[in-house]
Amino acid sequence: MRLIYLDNNATTPVDPLVLKEMVPFFSVYYGNPSSPYRLGQEAKQHLKKARIAICRFLNCEEDEIVFTSCGTESNNAAILSALRTTGKKRIVTTVTEHSSIQELCTDLEKRGFDIDRIPVDSLGLIDLEEVEKRINEQTALVSVMWANNETGVIFPVEQIAEICRKRGVYFHTDAVQAVGKIPIDLSKIPVDFLSLTGHKFYAPKGIGVLFVRKGRPFEPFIRGGSQEMRRRAGTENVPAIVGMGKAIEILSHQMVEENKKIRALRDLLETRILSEVPLTKLNGDKLNRIPNTTNICFKGVDAETLLFDLDQKGICASGGSACTTGSLKPSRVLTAMGLNPLEAKSSVRFSLGRHNTEEEIQFAADEIVKSVEKIRGKIPRH
Ligand SMILES: Cc1ncc(COP(=O)(O)O)c(C=O)c1O
């Protein structure tokens, strides 16, 4: 059966060019980058090459990049480091952060830390004045995601970074869903810490980055070795780092064109669903959005049932975020935007990627229309 993959915010396939680049690092250049002989030093050089590709893309410096195991680790590391280095007890964040921030913050709250979560409006946007108001003397860090994984809504990170700079407070952004989808220039935006992960842009799973701006204090999350300038211990995942470097290099050549195509396909899918399926509504701001994501509420349709039906047809999409799939709870992000639990449980996220074609999108739209008709037809009418 053919597969139409519309869940690229959950993860992306590894690009064939990325895989090709990685393969020799499992069997030929398998040295430990910390080993002094040539095999190790060759691996070290390739780490450097990947680091340089990432720096060029983000417009930052080599020693500002710390390789981690994933976005979750980068997020945990940024928050815990800020609490330790400042000795302060307050984190300002938002209600729509990824669970890797939310759950850490909930745990910190239980341990006596003060967590202030900025609310969002019905479009999923935050009020900049609220950010300003919530910062005080005790604030260790402001952590606000760049783009939301469920709705694709973009937060005004440039302005938030500016507010934090003026107030003398460190700012971290979870840019996991922004990298490769919108331009990021760290020489222009005063972000102090930034998280990203390879598997959202066609690199493998299990490799991430924490950007730590020069001069900012940083305490390692994982200790036990001198790797990454003592900021992240553990033997480097050389094949994955090389793959992430290649994936970033590909993005730097084709990101603009690629996103034009993806946006057009996303708009096609969205327009067809909203116009051909009765009682549907877009969740989240239509304008401030990454180009690949649409989140749609199908009133009266259980999203799990719809997703199961689509899966039978080879179409992959998701309800809420992948990490909460399987739980019966309605999406925290959508309910924070004011959707009632039933509406939230009737919402589906479609996130497109590099490999989708117009033919796939037309087919998916046809099948979504049919599935919803079938599911609604089964509901007894009174
Ligand atoms: C916004 C956001 N932050 C963090 C993560 C976690 O990244 P990783 O899967 O690499 O731990 C994800 C993954 O879904 C995400 O969407």
Give per-residue pLDDT as tens, 42-53: 999 999 999 999
What is d(CA 30, CA 26) in angstroms, rounded to the nearest whole number? 5
Task: For ligand 1, say whether the CB of 197 is within 6 Å of any of its atoms.
Answer: yes
Per-residue confidence (pLDDT) for residue 378, from 0 to 100:
72
| Cα 26 to middle of ligand 1, angstroms | 26
Q: Residue 377 pLDDT more than 80?
A: yes
DSSP-assigned states of every residue in 349-380: EEE--TT--HHHHHHHHHHHHHHHHHHHHHSP
Is it the case that residue 224 has pLDDT exceeding 70?
yes
Q: Does ligand 1 come within 6 angstroms of the Cβ of 243?
A: no
Model pLDDT for residues 89-134, shown as the tens digit of each residue: 999 999 999 999 999 999 999 999 999 999 999 999 999 999 999 9
DSSP 314: T
Band of residue 64 on the pLDDT scale cut at 50, 70, 90: very high
**What average pLDDT does this structure show over 209-218?**
98
Which ligand 1 atom sits closest to the C-alpha of 198?
10
Q: How would residue 329 be classed by pLDDT, with cut points 50, 70 and 90?
A: confident
- Summarize the confidence of residues 206-232 as an average pLDDT: 97
| Cβ–ligand 1 contact at 97 (below 6 Å) | no
Domains and CATH numbers, the chain: 4-12+255-378 (3.90.1150.10), 16-250 (3.40.640.10)
Q: Which atom of ligand 1 is nearest to the CA of 97?
A: 1
Q: How far is the CA of 9 from the centre of ligand 1 (A)?
A: 9
The residues annotated with a catalytic role in the active site are 323
The β-bridge partners of 348 are 296
13 closest CA partner among 241, 202, 250: 202
Mean pLDDT of 145-157: 98
pLDDT, average across residues 340-350: 97
DSSP 105-131: HHHHHHTT-EEEEE---TTS---HHHH
On the question of pLDDT at 324 being above 60, the answer is: no
% of the chain at pLDDT higher than 90: 95
Q: Which residues contact 333 (CB under 8 A, 6 or more apart)?
A: 95, 96, 124, 148, 150, 151, 320, 321
pLDDT tens digits along 246-257: 999 999 999 999
Choice from 9, 67, 72, 237 to test ligand 1 binding pocket (greatest atom count within 8 A of CB) = 72
What's the pLDDT score for residue 328?
62
How far, in Å, from the CA of 150 to the mean position of ligand 1? 11
Minimal-distance CA residue to ligand 1 atom 16? 149
Task: Tell me the pLDDT of the chain averaged across its residues.
Answer: 96
User: Tokens 């980058």 label which residue?
Assistant: 33
- Distance from residue 176's CA to the centre of ligand 1 (Å): 6
Find the 10 Cα to ligand 1 centroid distance in Å.
8
Q: Is the CB of 54 under 6 A from ligand 1?
A: no
* pLDDT tier, 382 (very low <50, low <70, confident <90, very high otherwise): very low
What six digits make up the tokens of 156?
Answer: 């005004």
Query: Residue 358: is its pLDDT beyond 90?
Result: yes
Q: Is 174 in the pocket of ligand 1 (CB under 6 A)?
A: yes
- What pLDDT was estimated at residue 380? 53
Per-residue pLDDT at 322 exceeds 80: no
Mutating to test ligand 1, I would choose from 93, 98, 207, 210 the residue with most ligand atoms within 8 A of its C-beta, which is 98
Average pLDDT estimate for 315-323: 79
Which of 177, 194, 290 to probe ligand 1 with, by most ligand atoms within 8 A of CB?
A: 177
Calculate mean pLDDT across residues 265-274.
98
30 — pLDDT class (breaks 50, 70, 90): very high
Evaluate if residue 321 carries a pLDDT over 90. no
Per the CB < 8 A criterion, the answer to whether 194 and 75 are in contact is no
In the three-class reduction of DSSP (H, G, I as helix; E, B as strand; rest coil), residue 91 is classed as strand
